[in-house]
Structure 1
Amino acid sequence: MLSLSRGQHVLRFSLKSQKHHLILNPSIQLFSTSAALKSNRPPSQSPTNTKKDHGQSKTTTPTVTGTATKVDTPGPHEINAPTSTFPADLARPPPLPPSTPTLSKLTHYLAIGKAFLAFYKTGLKNSFYNYRAALPLRKELGLPSYIPSSPSTIADKHIGRGQFQLVRRSARDVRRLIPFFMVLIVCGEFTPLLIPIFGSTITPATCRIPSQVHDERNAASKRKTLALQALGTSVQGNELETLLRISHPDWVRAADSKGVLSACAVLGLVKRHDRFAGALLTGPVYRPRLNRYLEYLAVDDALIRNGGGVKELSPNEVMFALDERGASDVAVGYPSESKADVARREWLMRWLELRGKQEKSLKTKTV
């Protein structure tokens, strides 16, 4: 019994000492040996989410081979990015009744902290392996391997939307990976208490808990409302028509600094439409940023059409597309998620239809 106890102590110490090298050294065991023994599963295997997204042509959840996680790179005809670009499921312990003893409550809170810690570790690993899976695509697009820049165009490259989104999302997340990893090292299970302070500034999308995603969408909706009110009579019509109008290159070219900042706020490119010194920075910063983003949306629109249309998008991808187009609140108040998904898809299909007409008129003008 003595030797077994020592062995267990050494194992715990070994796992703890490897905690800080989880991301930088993929050859280290990724899961606890004790957890694997409880589930009769080798330490190198991980549970996968068996829930299938609508329109997903093949499984793109992270798989485990040996001791390294592998993300399946989408094919050129796939419209959905790997599911590893979204947050994993957060397995929180069930709530306790009010009559629970204090000691049990403390144990419960510790279990919640460990659940969050496991969630964040999974998100960080996914961010790292997503970027590694995107490296061949970055080379194909002529992007630097070790500078996480996000492409806005694909020129004449023959890649699908799933591949394009993998490149963009992996670059977005890896820019936040190091600062978030440092917070996780220092704070451990207490990281969720600090996330509201930093928000999405340092948090990769793969590490955003459901409540954080919900709060960000609420904030985006309020920001959009204020920005559209600031535009006033300069932009008229229903919300979809308004979003299409401020997404037109001609409107952006003619808009004043107030209009440009409001459009940036609607699309989530700035936090406020009335930023300090916004008028001075419109020319060198905000107008070029808005033009690049609209160029990206035009590419994404085309890739959705060419990839089979909205019906081929998974529910998560539909929600992601609406977030990027300033319409995250389209289905707020619907009685069920299925009906909300239908409403989102209808909105996105209408957007693609009207945007396609805009692009045709622009091409006609240039000719």
Structure 2
Amino acid sequence: MTTLTLRGLRTASRFQRVQPHPLLGLQSQFLVPQTPSFRYASTTSALPTRTPRTFPVNGPSTTLPAPLNVPARGENQSLVPYLYSVGKSYLAFYKTGVWNIYTNFKLSREVQRKIDAQNASTFSAAVVSASLTRSDLQLLVRNWHDIKRVPMFALVLLICGEFTPLVVIAISSIVPWTCRIPKQVESDRRKLEQRRSASFRELTTEPPTEAGVEKLAKTQLMHINKSLGLSFGMWDWVGGLPTGILRRKVSRRVEYLELDDGLIRKAGGIQHMELEEVKMALVERGVDVLSKGEAQLKGHLNAWLLSREKAPVEKLLLTRPSVWPVRMNAPEKV
């Protein structure tokens, strides 16, 4: 298994030259007892607001979409002015999302620099030395995910303006996570769950009993790829990605999940995980989340963590929660 390093999550070189905004004054908030800066779409002040840092098992609030406040239509309000006000709300939401990407970029650089200096850029060494929390990991991963999508999304936002929500639904893959509206998130998850369900129906091979992505057959690699959405669905129509690329993608995800599982345990388990964090963690592990309550979702994640003590990640990714070594239980410390 290859070593997962911070260099693999570094931002593009052109972003390294960005000068900090004079209002930010951001230091290493995730390594000292301070709080990250961000603002909501409904904020009227030019200065970013500040919120308390969440438990270290949760990612920073700035890595999630900000609240979207869409105004209600008045009884005597005509359609055109109403649509204009709705468009302004969406535009404010997207501006907030882009601002939060910049905030996350600044925060992630501080985390990267400290871990680089102490642990030679290796995630595993940072975890052992307690230099890296799950909050830090999610900051780095989500920041890298969003930074890669900024150029294309900025172009769409510049061209479409208030009409961006009508466009991005069809091209969701170019939208940073901080700029995804609730309907878009739900739509993406529904499509992924449909793709996952179809893949499970076609899966006939027995799941492995030992760890090791190199031992998986191509059909198993293809299933994990579809279930987790590691590549575009268009590849399904041409026979899927080449085996070498599939194995590399799956190997990286397995290594990430092993690291994430360990950091959740180090943070005390799932008791303090926020609902959206639980949903995101389950989606990353190939578990359906739509139409399920908080207790059931936390039960699934708890069952995953307990099952990991008896089975490798590869086996859990190739089976449904109903057949995991540990079935869904009430949340408990793991």
Please report the TM-score for the alignment, with normalisation by the length of structure 2.
0.73
1:85 pairs with 2:54: no
Describe the SS at the equivalent of 2:268. coil
Q: Unaligned 5+ residue runs, structure 1?
A: 1-23, 31-56, 144-150, 236-244, 335-339, 363-367
Distance 1:210 1:61, change over 3 A: farther
> For the pair shown, which has the larger CA radius of gyration, 1 or 2?
1
1:282 pairs with 2:243: yes
- Give 1:192's aligned residue: 165
Letter in 2 for 1:93: P
- Give 2:263's aligned residue: 303
Listed one character per residue, the Cα deviations across residues 209-239 of structure 1 (whole Å, up to 9, x for unaligned) are: 010001011011101001111213x14xxxx
Shift of residue 270, structure 1, vs aligned partner: 2.3
Residue among 189, 195, 198 paired with 1:217: 189
Range moving further from structure 2, 106-115 or 269-278:
269-278
Distance 1:132 1:248, change over 3 A: farther
Q: Which runs of 4+ in 1 moved over 6 A?
A: 70-75
1:126 pairs with 2:100: yes
Describe the SS at the equivalent of 1:217. helix
Shift of residue 121, structure 1, vs aligned partner: 0.3
Distance 1:113 1:105, change over 3 A: same
Residue among 178, 198, 201 paired with 1:206: 178
Distance 1:288 1:27, change over 3 A: closer
Query: Could you say what the CA RMSD is over the residues aligned between the two structures, in angstroms?
Result: 3.3
Shift of residue 358, structure 1, vs aligned partner: 2.8
Distance 1:114 1:269, change over 3 A: same
Contact 1:247 1:294 in 2 (8 A): no
Residue among 165, 175, 178 paired with 2:151: 178
Q: Distance in 1 between matches of 2:208 and 2:192?
A: 17
Listed one character per residue, the Cα deviations across residues 283-322 of structure 1 (whole Å, up to 9, x for unaligned) are: 2x11111011100000000000110101021111111111
- Give 2:325's aligned residue: none
Q: Distance in 2 between matches of 1:80 and 1:359?
A: 24
Contact 1:69 1:129 in 2 (8 A): no
- Give 1:313's aligned residue: 273
Describe the SS at the equivalent of 1:156. helix
Shift of residue 259, structure 1, vs aligned partner: 2.0
Q: Answer 1 or 2: which has greater helix percent.
A: 1
- Give 2:112's aligned residue: 138
Describe the SS at the equivalent of 2:57. coil
Residues 262-281 of structure 1 aligned to structure 2 (within 5 Å): 262-272=223-233, 274-278=236-240, 281=242
Distance 1:344 1:317, change over 3 A: same
Q: Distance in 1 between matches of 2:166 and 2:57?
A: 36
- Give 2:27's aligned residue: none
Distance 1:359 1:257, change over 3 A: closer
Please report the TM-score for the alignment, with normalisation by the length of structure 1.
0.67
Shift of residue 249, structure 1, vs aligned partner: 3.3
Describe the SS at the equivalent of 1:135. helix
Describe the SS at the equivalent of 1:178. helix
Distance 1:29 1:82, change over 3 A: closer
Describe the SS at the equivalent of 2:287. coil
Letter in 1 for 2:63: T
Shift of residue 256, structure 1, vs aligned partner: 2.5
- Greater RCO, 1 or 2 (C-alpha within 8 Å, sep 6+): 2
Listed one character per residue, the Cα deviations across residues 51-80 of structure 1 (whole Å, up to 9, x for unaligned) are: xxxxxx99656269x9664888969x8211
Contact 1:96 1:105 in 2 (8 A): no
1:114 pairs with 2:88: yes
Letter in 2 for 1:176: R
Letter in 1 for 2:38: P
1:165 pairs with 2:138: yes
Q: Distance in 1 between matches of 2:52 and 2:109?
A: 10
Letter in 1 for 2:247: R
Shift of residue 178, structure 1, vs aligned partner: 1.8
Distance 1:191 1:333, change over 3 A: closer
Range moving further from structure 2, 156-165 or 351-360:
351-360
Aligned residues: 277
Shift of residue 113, structure 1, vs aligned partner: 0.5
Residues 245-256 of structure 1 aligned to structure 2 (within 5 Å): 245=207, 249-250=211-212, 252-256=213-217
Distance 1:27 1:256, change over 3 A: closer
Contact 1:246 1:263 in 2 (8 A): no
Distance 1:253 1:176, change over 3 A: same
Q: Distance in 2 between matches of 1:261 and 1:71?
A: 43
Distance 1:212 1:276, change over 3 A: same
Letter in 2 for 1:355: R
Letter in 2 for 1:164: L
Q: Unaligned 5+ residue runs, structure 2?
A: 1-17, 25-32, 316-334
- Give 1:323's aligned residue: 283
Contact 1:127 1:173 in 2 (8 A): yes
Q: Distance in 2 between matches of 1:328 and 1:247?
A: 23
